[in-house]
Amino acid sequence: MPDEPEDTEAGRDLPDEVLRELCAHLDELEAQSSTEVRVATELLIDTGRRPDEINTLPFNCLEQDPDGSDVLVYDNHKAYRLGRRLPIGAETAAVIRRQQQRVRERFPTTAPARLRLLPRPKSNPEGTKPLVDVSGHHRAWVKSLPDILVPVVAADADTRVTRLVPFDKKRIFPYAYRHCYAQRHADAGVPVDVLKELMDHRLVSTTMGYYRVGDERRREAVDRVTALQFDRHGDRVWRTAKSLLDSEHVRRAIGEVAVPYGVCREPTNVAAGGHACPLRFRCLGCEHFSTDVSYLPDLQAHLADLLRSRERLMSAFEADDWARTQAMPSEEEIRRIRRLIERVQTDLDDLTPEDRAQIEQAVTVVRRSRTVMLGMPRVRQPLPDVRPARTPT
């Protein structure tokens, strides 16, 4: 089967101001159409699924993983992948449970296996026909809303002025929520390999199409975080750097490769795309390694993993001495990563509030555009709860 041409014509994500305004007016959508249309819109916003995947959800679409966390079970019709499982938050699961109760009360004699979670309100005596024309109701609802104002920065030769302008409502349609879902998780620091699975894509490049970062914005962000770049000892590398020359941007693009906690400039490893490291990713002991402030969350997560591994191996864990010794994180590695984290945090604390805010914004851009995730073993962190707030149904 040919690879899916993932909706390059689809709309991009909506600004936060627009999404908040839409969530605040969901009651009006329910009044204009039906409870099913409102629930469908909520699930589109919360889960980032395609409209047909939500409209055709079966009644028993909510299950739980062995750890007790809620998952949405749906069919990816576009790629012919059935029974897909998507982790969802407690609030989204509560929306589904309330809808299941309404459907059960409306169709008490129909077997649950035949029911739809979102049955169409008319010409559907047994509740087996799925909802249709969500887009039409959604379009009418959006048109009925007052103008949604968003900030726009206008710059001239000397000044930058922010003004509020009405948002183009033509950009608000059900598929746009899929882009919003991807952007929210990218902004929350979800690794691209995890986001690829959440979006149910085959290729990482497809996932990246849902939250592109412009070259100009990326270059500006790289310039900012480069000023807080450190070697493996925690010493500042570009202490007086203001901005990178064009040649330096090119050199960084072709002369280094991303590793889990920074970048590597060892020529052989760079030529192999990061897969020829003789130290087996013990980057803190290599002179070719450097990192910057954008990797601080990864460094902190790595330290936590090392400490957890050490505690497990020191407890009652049956293993031969040689295996335990090789698997045990070294005290030197733990000491070095702690020192590196402290150096990065100290330099951050020395910044003014304005400079720190600019660095944090630049870090968000750089992390969003980072695409390389090497196969380092690590403990999967819980997904962030990035469900937009709204009034209850």
Q: pLDDT tens digits, residue range 12-60? A: 789 888 999 999 999 999 999 999 999 999 999 999 999 999 999 999 9
Lowest-confidence range among 105-114, 172-181, 383-392? 383-392
pLDDT of residue 283: 79
Side chain identity at residue 7, one-letter code: D
Task: Give the DSSP H or E segment for 204.
Answer: helix 204-208
Q: CA dihedral defined by 260, 261, 264, 268, rounded to 10 degrees? A: -30
CA 24, CA 32: separation in Å to the nearest integer? 15
CB 120 within 8 A of CB 107: no
pLDDT value at residue 374: 39
The fraction of the chain above a pLDDT of 90, given in percent, is: 34
Q: Find tokens 């040649």 and name the residue.
A: 247
The domain limits of the chain are 16-208, 217-368
Cβ atoms within 10 Å of 349's Cβ, excluding its own: 8
Grouping H, G, I as helix, E, B as strand and the rest as coil, residue 193 is: helix
pLDDT at 73: 95
Which residues are paired to 230 by β-bridges?
Answer: 236, 291
C-alpha span between 23 and 41 (Å, rounded): 9
pLDDT, residue 308, reads 86
Residue 115 or residue 246, greater confidence: 115
Q: Is 53 helix (H, G, I), strand (E, B) or coil?
A: helix
pTM of the entire predicted model: 0.61
Cβ atoms of 211 and 319 within 8 Å: the answer is no
More confident residue, 230 or 41: 41
What is the structure's pLDDT at 221? 53
Report d(CA 259, CA 273) in Å as an integer: 10
pLDDT-wise least confident of 58-72, 87-101, 182-196: 182-196
In 296-385, DSSP assigns E strands to none
Q: Which two tokens stand for residue 312?
A: 């497990």
Judge whether residue 7 has pLDDT over 50. no
Average pLDDT over every residue of 307-327: 77
The answer to whether the CB of 89 falls within 8 A of the CB of 387 is yes
The pLDDT of residue 277 is 77
The answer to whether 280 and 259 have CB atoms below 8 angstroms apart is no
Go through the chain and tell me how many residues it has. 393
pLDDT, residue 49, reads 95
378 falls in which pLDDT band (50, 70, 90)? very low
Q: What is the mean pLDDT of residues 187-204?
A: 84
Name the least confident of 176-180, 301-305, 372-376: 372-376
9 burial via Cβ count (<10 Å: 0-12, 13-18, 19+): exposed
3-state secondary structure of 154: strand
Enter the CATH code of domain 16-208: 1.10.443.10
Mean pLDDT of 194-218: 75
